[in-house]
Chain A
Amino acid sequence: MIKNIIKLFIELIFLIIIVLFGSLLFAEQSESTPVIHFDQITHTFSAVFEGEQLSHSFKLINQGTADLEILDVTHS
């Protein structure tokens, strides 16, 4: 009888642990994150004469569920 109670208790503890881990994992997965997406990452200008100013705007979409912050744009 006592053996059965201990066995049941251990099973209950296991069940609680599994439920806790599961809910933590679910919470982590559902945490909102930003997702950066560019339709185009290259652009080729037509030929120009020296001295002209060229510029191009790349469009990006935030496909995530939180604000996307652009932290910096560096050149290399």
Chain B
Amino acid sequence: MTRYDRVIPPGGTGQITLGIDTSRVREEFHKKAIVWSNDPVRKSVALYLMGEVKPHISLVPGGYLALQGVKGRVPGEKLEIINNHKQPFKITGVDNDLPDHIKWRLEEIKPGYAYTLAVEDISKKAGEFSGHLIVRTDQPQKPELVIIVNGYIKEN
């Protein structure tokens, strides 16, 4: 979103308003806008906006788990779910679209603020699979978290 005064008389003041939708911005950001005018000496002026966007809930180290190994001996993987708000939240459910390949376990580290989600491979056959775990929360800004799960299971 950009708004600006088109004509400023001599001695007058004007405004250039720049906006940022942070829905698609992560962590620290630097945005640059260039103002073009009829000033013969300074035809363009660069303006800079900086800041930091925090996720409502963080997935550490990330929203992706890879299960790799020999069938029956695949090391489990886990991630942490961290609430970045002061208000606690609840995990109301976890949906799994890979019921034949994985089982999950949720542990509370700090109720309302930090959880561990552990995933194990239970595949009966070797092969590759890909799917999701959907973690549902009661936090209105982030009612669900999508975790991608990929498996690369080898035969003995």
Interfacial residues, chain A to chain B (CB-CB below 8 A):
32-36, 38, 41-76
Name B's interface SS. strand
For residue A75, which residue of chain B has the nearest CB? B33
With a cutoff of 8 Å between Cβ atoms, the chain A residues found around residue B23 in the complex are 50-51
Q: Are A58 and B18 in contact (CB under 8 A)?
A: yes
Task: Return the chain B residue nearest A45 by Cβ.
Answer: B51
Instruction: Write the chain B residue with the least CB distance to A76.
Output: B32
Q: Answer whether A68 and B8 are a contact pair too, CB < 8 Å, given A51-B23, A54-B22.
A: yes
Interface centre among A35, A56, A63 (most CB of B within 10 A): A56
* Other-chain contact of B51, A48, A51, A57, A65 (Cβ < 8 Å): A48
In the complex, chain B residues whose CB is within 8 Å of the CB of A53: 1, 19-22
Contacts of B20 in A (CB 8 A): 53-55
Set B4, B5, B17: member contacting A55, Cβ < 8 A: B17
Cα(A71)–Cα(B34), bound, Å: 11
Q: How far is the CB of B33 from chain A (nearest CB, A)?
A: 5
B 35-55 binary contact with A (CB < 8 Å = 1; else 0)? 111111110011111111111
List 4 other contacts, CB 8 Å, given A50-B22, A57-B15, A62-B11: A34-B10, A34-B37, A70-B35, A70-B37
Taking the nearest CB of chain A, how far is it from the CB of B46, in angstroms?
Answer: 7
Determine the chain A residues whose CB is within 8 A of the CB of B48 once the complex forms. Answer: 41-43
Q: Does B84 lie at the interface of the complex (its beta carbon under 8 Å from any beta carbon of A)?
A: yes
Please provide the chain B residues from 112 to 150 with a CB less than 8 Å away from any CB of chain A in the complex.
Answer: 141
* Contact (Cβ within 8 A) A64 B47: no
* B37, A43: Cβ atoms closer than 8 Å: no
Among residues of A, the one whose C-beta sits closest to the C-beta of B15 is A57
In the assembled complex, how far is the CB of residue B47 from the closest CB belonging to chain A, in whole angstroms?
Answer: 5
Complex: chain A residue closest to B25, CB-CB: A50
Known: A60-B8, A62-B12, A75-B31. A70 touches B50 (CB 8 A): no
